[in-house]
């Protein structure tokens, strides 16, 4: 009986687990810091009040309970001894025959980690809730104040980074301020909301063709989003952002600029790239350690392409499956198969009836692209949620311009001063 | 143009506002610390993972946007000058012609406020999320540990207080542990979960007839809930509860024992009862101050009954309406009508097909009571949510034993050390 330890219950981890589920001669332990799998591509919709957290997250135990050979632990991995083949966790040690690293990435501030408190990133449900709180709180404060300058600052939103996440956040705020919120306030006109995308590169959506990115730019502008390209943020503070000699005063800055793999790769002493991702072989194993695999955002895989595969859900999903299958091939004494990414294309949504889709040579935008985006996401979401009703509700509120989940939930932290979990930050980060 | 200020957007406040909405010669300002109205009777279902927060909360602005004469502010009321007729808030002063106090209650630990961190109450979404986190975290920790004594303690839940909320919490944990969770864990048997209701009075559900309360007791016992009556909690700490010479070791203690009106009444210098509730006239106004009304849980109304009306949603709803109508009668120069509570009965749910209902002389339990409970709550919920799809989903998961929202969302508080709202506790409490 071989023991496979999987660290991380994201797209890579969960799909590797499924490949190994209920298979003979193998037992699986999956460890995650959270007790749920998160459908990350729609996380920005939680931040923007269009969906509740429960709509895009599912307890890992629900997803894996049908596999009798899989045990799930909610815990934190502190280190890995790759020679002794031991995983050290906050609840004890586990030895493994195979190890799958799928811990993903977190936000990266390029050496300016102090910016994080002023400009949260969007990787977890807690961050999405915090972004929602800040955005909605800004409108509430603007409604209360009489000072026009303070009001302008409150109604200014800066998104640092013009990749798909930045575009989706900016588009949502544009949509919400132009269409949803206008009838709800008496003292302010939410249509006056200023939204900026600040991007260091010469254009936004660098992974798409220039033509599609340009169409996305126009669609964003129609929603009132101002796009500043070739603009490197030099400072973020509680009052706004500095871009060289220019400055935007803003109460709400969101970070969608950079990510970095979590630190386990570095800690283990394997070869990593500049972003902390583990450089892997063609079969996604670590050079010299064929029993250790890395999948998803944490893997640097650059075997059939000029650049490493991007950190996208389809890549992670396919890598997880490939790892699971290769372990099964090992156990049957057969040869492993190298991983090949089957490119399903990429897409980004900007707002209602506004999206861009690129599949191979096929490129389109507008309503057809938006519909494609919607159907693809509903399809993938149902593969793990099985909740058509929620999806119908979501589709409905999307069509009716609803952002009904605009709840500001304060952290009432003063209530729970001691029992609150506050593990050493390093530990929390590293798994 | 008369100005009505309403403090609190609960059942009383929102219904008073609706009565005054779009009426001539009156403008309304509603102030609440939160930006949403909460359907409190189902809050325990959020704590127990059966519903998401968004399912039972609706932004106040959504509910009131159709009334052009109503302005909503998210803010904290710090004090009231009842002679100058001024409301002092954290965003400035407002003068009023009429004032409606509807701030509700918060939990009360009978002078042992230090127990709160070990035994949270259930009044807000943040508290519900915290209770959910603690309950689910206990199962996760039990799954991880090898120590049978630690495991027993982790699988022990103590609910202090045997009123409807305590019964609903205990019943839900019983239901969840006996029916939902069993297939999800490998190392523990959730059916071994011990659940205690600790009640100081000689029986639980004191507001119901002894016969119905006794049937509820049996229904709870069938779900594995142990009921300790005549048991006064003398100490709560991080390891359990002390009841005189007896002790229960438990990792998770929940408080459903006592409430107290928020402090504004006391601060204003009007007559209050032992629980801080403002003693009101027959028309719900404050003696000597006919322009100040108090409604909902914050009001002590004891004109046609031997005891003050209980803190229940139907009472608050009817009182809010009555206040709004009396203000309109004032404006028309007509005589006010005294408030009469139309008793719609009371009910409590214990679990699937288990509930008790008491309407006048009619008393029943079991499946018919549960169905009645379900229909009544769906009816009232739709009056403000208009979201049949969510309700269908809820009914569905209830029928299929689903507790799908079992997400543990940690407060990632280290991220936001400065911008996090931490108003002076006194202020936060008092409105």
Q: What is the pLDDT of residue B385?
A: 58
Q: What is the pLDDT of residue B431?
A: 28
Nearest to A45 by CA among A393, A413, A412: A393
Question: Does residue B391 carry a pLDDT above 70?
Answer: no
pLDDT tens profile B87-137: 999 999 999 999 999 999 988 898 899 999 999 999 999 899 899 999 999
- Interchain CB distance below 8 Å, A406 and B120: no
- Interchain CB distance below 8 Å, A414 and B422: yes
- Interchain CB distance below 8 Å, B389 and A387: no
Q: What is the pLDDT of residue B395?
A: 58
- Interchain CB distance below 8 Å, B144 and A74: yes
List average pLDDT for each run of 10 residues in chain A, which is 431 residues long.
96 97 96 93 87 84 93 95 96 97 91 92 91 94 95 97 95 90 91 96 93 94 95 96 96 92 87 94 97 96 88 94 97 96 90 89 91 83 60 57 62 36 28 28
Interface residue A399 vs chain B (CB under 8 A) = no
What is the three-class DSSP state of A22?
coil
Interface residue B418 vs chain A (CB under 8 A) = yes
Distance between CA A132 and CA A137 in Å, rounded? Answer: 8
- Interchain CB distance below 8 Å, A389 and B389: yes
Q: What's the gap in Å between the CA of B213 and the closest CA on chain A?
A: 33
Q: What is the pLDDT of residue A424?
A: 27
User: What share of chain B has pLDDT > 90, as a percent?
Assistant: 69
Q: What is the pLDDT of residue A416?
A: 35
Q: Where are the alpha helices (DSSP H) in A247-334?
A: 264-268, 313-331
Interface residue A106 vs chain B (CB under 8 A) = no
Interface residue B425 vs chain A (CB under 8 A) = yes
- Which residues lie across from A71 on neighbouring strands? A29
Least confident of A117-131, B209-223, B258-272: B258-272
Examine the residue annotation and report whether A168 is marked as an active-site residue of this protein. Answer: yes
Contacts of A184 in chain B (CB under 8 A): 59, 61-62, 65
Tell me which residues of chain A, numbers 281 to 300, contact chain B at a CB-CB cutoff of 8 Å: none
- Interchain CB distance below 8 Å, A407 and B36: yes
Distance between CA B29 and CA B92 in Å, rounded? Answer: 13
Strand B105-107 relative to strand B77-81: parallel, antiparallel, unpaired?
unpaired
Interface residue B371 vs chain A (CB under 8 A) = no
Distance between CA B38 and CA B58 in Å, rounded? Answer: 7
Compare all CA atoms of chain A with the CA of B146 and give the residue at the minimum distance. A91
Optimal mutation site among B48, B135, B144, B402, interface A, most CBs of chain A within 10 A: B144
Interface residue A389 vs chain B (CB under 8 A) = yes
Compare all CA atoms of chain A with the CA of B397 and give the residue at the minimum distance. A387
Contacts of B120 in chain A (CB under 8 A): 415-416
Contacts of B422 in chain A (CB under 8 A): 413-414
Distance between CA A393 and CA A395 in Å, rounded? Answer: 5
pLDDT tens profile B32-68: 999 999 999 889 988 988 877 877 888 899 899 999 9
Nearest to B268 by CA among B396, B78, B138, B44: B78
Query: Does ipTM come in above 0.85?
Result: no
Cβ-contact A409, B415 below 8 angstroms: no
Instruction: Select the residue of A404, A411, A418 nearest B411 (Cβ to Cβ).
Output: A411
| CA B153 vs CA B120, B140, B143, B156, B238: distances in Å | 18, 13, 12, 5, 11
Cβ-contact A284, A339 below 8 angstroms: yes
Helix (H) or strand (E) holding B292: strand B289-294
Compare all CA atoms of chain B with the CA of A56 and give the residue at the minimum distance. B405
| CA A192 vs CA A168, A171, A403, B196: distances in Å | 19, 15, 18, 55
- Which residues lie across from B292 on neighbouring strands? B99
Nearest to B125 by CA among B37, B25, B2: B37
Q: What is the pLDDT of residue B353?
A: 85
Which residues of B are annotated as catalytic? 168
Contacts of B409 in chain A (CB under 8 A): 53, 125-126, 129
Distance between CA A137 and CA B61 in Å, rounded? Answer: 13
Q: What is the pLDDT of residue B291?
A: 97
Question: Does residue B398 carry a pLDDT above 80?
Answer: no
**Structure token pair of residue B69:** 């004469």
CB environment A356-375: b (16+ within 10 A), e (fewer): bbbeeeebbbeeebbebbbe
Q: What's the gap in Å between the CA of A315 and the closest CA on chain B?
A: 26
Q: What is the pLDDT of residue A360?
A: 86
Query: Mind listing the domains of chain A with CATH numbers?
Result: 2-107+259-331 (3.50.50.60), 113-257 (3.50.50.100)
Least confident of B141-150, B209-218, B274-283, B385-394: B385-394
Cβ-contact A37, A9 below 8 angstroms: yes
**Structure token pair of residue B328:** 């309109």
Tell me which residues of chain A, numbers 22 to 41, contact chain B at a CB-CB cutoff of 8 Å: 34-36
Distance between CA B51 and CA A54 in Å, rounded? Answer: 9
Q: What's the gap in Å between the CA of A145 and the closest CA on chain B?
A: 7
Which residues neighbour A299 within 8 Å (Cβ) at sequence distance 6 or greater?
Answer: A12, A277, A278, A280, A284, A309, A319
Tell me which residues of chain A, numbers 1 to 20, contact chain B at a CB-CB cutoff of 8 Å: none
CA atoms within 13 A of residue A240's CA, in its CB half-sphere? 17
- Interchain CB distance below 8 Å, B73 and A417: no
- Interchain CB distance below 8 Å, A419 and B117: yes
**Active-site residue, selected from the candidate residues A168, A175, A199, A281:** A168
Q: What is the pLDDT of residue A263?
A: 81
User: What share of chain B has pLDDT > 70, as a percent?
Assistant: 89
Kindly state the DSSP code that residue A310 receives in the 8-state scheme: P
Question: Does residue B424 carry a pLDDT above 90?
Answer: no
Number of A to B CB contacts under 8 A, please give it.
Answer: 187
Q: What is the pLDDT of residue B415?
A: 36
Q: What is the pLDDT of residue B30?
A: 98
Interface residue B150 vs chain A (CB under 8 A) = no
Instruction: Select the residue of A34, A143, A411 nearest B126 (Cβ to Cβ).
Output: A411
Question: Does residue B409 carry a pLDDT above 70?
Answer: no
């Amino acid at each position: 009986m071989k023991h496979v330890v999987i660290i991380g219950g994201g797209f890579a981890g969960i799909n590797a687990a499924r490949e190994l589920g209920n298979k003979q001669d193998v037992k699986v332990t999956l460890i995650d810091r959270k007790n749920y799998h998160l459908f990350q591509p729609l996380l920005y919709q939680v931040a923007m009040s269009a969906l509740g957290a429960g709509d895009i997250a599912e307890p890992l135990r629900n997803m894996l309970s049908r596999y009798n050979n899989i045990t799930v632990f909610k815990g934190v991995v502190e280190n890995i001894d790759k020679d002794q083949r031991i995983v050290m966790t906050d609840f004890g040690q586990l030895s493994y025959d195979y190890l799958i690293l799928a811990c993903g990435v977190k936000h990266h501030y390029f050496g300016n980690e102090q910016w994080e408190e002023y400009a949260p990133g969007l990787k977890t449900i807690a961050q999405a809730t915090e972004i929602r709180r800040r955005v909605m709180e800004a409108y509430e404060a603007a409604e209360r104040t009489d000072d026009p300058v303070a009001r302008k600052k409150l109604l200014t939103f800066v998104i640092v980074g013009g990749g798909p996440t930045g575009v989706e956040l900016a588009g949502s705020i544009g949509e919400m301020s132009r269409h949803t919120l206008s009838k709800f306030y008496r003292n302010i006109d939410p249509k006056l909301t200023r939204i900026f995308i600040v991007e260091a590169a010469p254009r936004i959506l660098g992974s798409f063709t220039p033509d599609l990115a340009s169409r996305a730019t126009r669609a964003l502008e129609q929603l009132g989003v101002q796009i500043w390209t070739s603009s490197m943020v030099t400072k973020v503070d509680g009052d706004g952002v500095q871009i060289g000699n220019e400055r935007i005063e803003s109460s709400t800055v969101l970070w969608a600029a950079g990510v970095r793999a979590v630190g386990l790769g570095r800690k283990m002493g394997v070869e990593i790239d500049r972003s902390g991702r583990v450089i892997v072989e063609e079969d996604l194993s670590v050079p010299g350690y064929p029993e250790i695999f890395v999948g998803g955002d944490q893997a640097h895989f650059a075997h059939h392409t000029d650049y490493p595969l991007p950190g996208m859900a389809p890549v992670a999903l396919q890598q997880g499956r490939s790892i699971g299958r290769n372990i099964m091939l090992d156990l049957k004494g057969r040869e492993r198969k190298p991983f090949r990414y089957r490119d399903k294309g990429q897409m980004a949504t900007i707002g209602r009836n506004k999206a861009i889709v690129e599949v191979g040579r096929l490129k389109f935008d507008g309503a057809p692209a938006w519909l494609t985006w919607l159907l693809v996401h509903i399809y993938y979401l149902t593969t793990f949620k099985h909740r058509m009703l929620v999806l119908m509700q979501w589709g409905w509120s999307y069509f009716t311009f609803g952002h009904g989940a605009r709840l500001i939930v304060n952290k009432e932290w003063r209530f729970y001063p001691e029992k609150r979990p506050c593990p050493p930050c390093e530990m929390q980060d590293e798994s």
